[in-house]
Amino acid sequence: MIKAGIIGATGYTGVELMRLLAPRKDVSIEVVTSRELSGTPVADVFPNLRGYLDVVFTEPDTETLAACDVVFYATPHTVAMNTASELLARGVRVIDLSADFRLQDQAVWEAWYKTAHTCPELIDQAVYGLPEVNHESITDAKLIAVPGCYPTAVQLGYLPLLEAGLIDTSSLIADCKSGVSGAGRKAAVGSLLCESSESMKAYAVAGHRHLPEIRQGLTKFSGKDVGLTFIPHLTPMIRGIHATLYASPIAEVSQEQLQALFESRYADSPFVDVLPAGSEPATRNVRGSNRCQIAVHYLPESQKIVVLSVIDNLVKGASGQAVQNMNLMFGLTETAGLDVVALLP
């Protein structure tokens, strides 16, 4: 039985972790922390968990957390970098859903997050938890940086093309659409139903914090510098990311070749589902599941490759991917507890 703790579990990635872990027989959620809700039963805040999780929010406390086998940080950035080292020192595996250890270049991190990194010594040690790329190193990791939601959808979409060296890396365009849960469960006017439903808008056009993370990954896949334009859009729905990825081939390609490339690259990836040629994936087909569904299109007239990649931002884009990492770290089946059919409609 794996003893798990969750820090900062009042947000959407927190409740999603609990949804995925609470019914498992091989995992026990021992500690769930929240400074503001300390003393409140978790199921009072999230009534979907009634009967599944009989735990009370507590103040974060190192002693209690150190008794866990694994601790998830479902916190905003800057929390994990201040306390993770202590837990690691006491032998706890740490899975950080925040951005603290995602960027390997400390200066870049500090520029984008506008604060000093307080734990640079762990940056190298952290494994970037994208199992489709780092399967081996995750198995041995003590500290996982779970990828961001946009970075997951975008990297999985470009990965086969970049590894195969098929596209011009100087001018990639990732036009991404996210449901509102990506903004978290904090009270903010922009996330009100009356502000964000029945509307579509781009945001962070001048630069979103996921941009350096995506660029870091794409650069690694391709082995060269990458020119990337990344425009996120707030979409009037709860869950889901749809990444529309544009690229220009550097030599002649065909739909068949691209299709075969994607199918082969992801043949051993249980959570990447390459759709048949001509498909147009919809976010609803992965709602609540840990899947990334991908379709690759070649448009001969404009000579563009267009990849469509969809995930549930709270599952494959956050908590499901965190659990997938945990499974690998603890030698369990990669799909344990994640073999869930998406909720449709």
Give least dist CB 161 to a copy of itself, A. Answer: 16
333 lies in the site for a copy of itself, by CB under 8 A: no
For residues 63 to 92, the per-residue mask of contacts with a copy of itself, x marking binding by CB under 8 A and - elsewhere, is ------------------------------
Peptide bond into 345 cis (omega under 30): yes
Residue 151 CA: distances (Å) to CA of 43, 249, 311, 340: 31, 22, 11, 23
How many Å apart are CA 83 and CA 98, to the nearest integer?
13
* Contact positions with a copy of itself (CB under 8 A) in 94-133: none
265 lies in the site for a copy of itself, by CB under 8 A: no
The CB density around residue 125, as the number of other CB atoms within 10 Å, is: 13
In terms of CB distance, is 113 or 246 closer to a copy of itself?
A: 246
235 lies in the site for a copy of itself, by CB under 8 A: yes
331 lies in the site for a copy of itself, by CB under 8 A: no
How many Å apart are CA 57 and CA 86, to the nearest integer?
21
In terms of CB distance, is 237 or 332 closer to a copy of itself?
A: 237
* Interface segment toward a copy of itself; rule CB under 8 A; list 56-64, 72-80, 91-99, 240-248: 240-248
278 lies in the site for a copy of itself, by CB under 8 A: yes
Give least dist CB 289 to a copy of itself, A. Answer: 7
Choice from 284, 330, 332, 336 touching a copy of itself (CB under 8 A) = 284
199 lies in the site for a copy of itself, by CB under 8 A: yes
Give least dist CB 143 to a copy of itself, A. Answer: 28
> Which is nearest to 142 in space by CA: 63, 103, 86, 212?
86
The CB density around residue 67, as the number of other CB atoms within 10 Å, is: 13
* Contact positions with a copy of itself (CB under 8 A) in 5-24: 12, 15, 18-19, 22-23
246 lies in the site for a copy of itself, by CB under 8 A: yes
Dihedral angle at the C-alpha atoms of 82, 88, 94, 97, nearest 10 degrees?
A: 20
CA distance between the termini of the chain: 34
Q: Which of 149, 176, 194, 292 is catalytic?
A: 149
Provide the phi-psi class of 10: left if phi over 0, else alpha when psi is between -120 and 50, else beta: alpha
Choice from 249, 273, 330, 336 touching a copy of itself (CB under 8 A) = 273
194 catalytic? Reply is no
Block residue for tokens 């009356």: 194
198 lies in the site for a copy of itself, by CB under 8 A: yes
Query: Using N-to-C axis directions, what is the helix angle for 149-163 and 210-222, rounded to 10°?
Result: 20
In terms of CB distance, is 88 or 231 closer to a copy of itself?
A: 231
Contact criterion met (CB below 8 Å) for 135 and 331: no
Give least dist CB 324 to a copy of itself, A. Answer: 16
Tokens of 179: 């449901």
36 lies in the site for a copy of itself, by CB under 8 A: no
Active site residues: 149
